[in-house]
Amino acid sequence: MKKLLLSMIVLALILFVSCKESAGTEAEAETTETAETEMAGPDYADFDAKVSTIRAFFTAHENEDLEAQASMLADTITWSPPVFNDYAFLGKDELLATLKNYHDTYDDIKYTEGVVTQDSVVGGFYSGSHYPQATATNVADVLRIYGTWTAKHSESGEEIGVKFFSLASFDADGKIATYSSYFDTSNLARSEE
């Protein structure tokens, strides 16, 4: 009886150790796969394609071409406008109506890409990050967009300008799927007084 009990304990230990080694191997394989993906480096072509879409979207805005802008938006886009609205996300129709209002209200709409520093204008598009380490990525899943919009109010002729920041993500078809805008809308309101 003691030999049977001892045999069962030994067998249980062998099974336990082999299962633990198998789980360790799976975890190591997953870690290796993640490391290989990270070592492959960023997909610059994907980043460049997304930047090209945003540039085309902004050029269409400068040209007041609402149809071209609509074609670059996913039908299911969610949009967070620059004004605080208790974080309610809006859809494609609301974004297009807002863009049309800008087209109707302003002339000579112009976008200048990049952040203006004292000595130069630097980078207008960023994605991925190294920090914080827990969420670091080399994937261009969300574009961070910096620049300045200028225009002339159609009725008053007043020149306006806003520093601009936005976030954009894309669907599998390369269309803008989410969009959040951040700028001071009070500069726009003054020109409408």
CATH of the domain at 62: 3.10.450.50
| Residues spanned by the domain of 113 | 43-190
pTM: 0.78
What would the mean pLDDT of 16-23 be, rounded to a whole number?
A: 52
Same-domain pairing of 47 and 118: yes
Is the predicted pLDDT of residue 113 greater than 70, yes or no?
A: yes
Say how far residue 101 (Cα) sits from the centre of its chain: 24
**Close Cβ partners of 152 (under 8 Å, ≥ 6 residues apart):** 106, 107, 108, 158, 159, 160
54-104 per-position pLDDT tens digit: 999 999 999 999 999 999 999 999 999 999 999 999 999 999 999 999 999
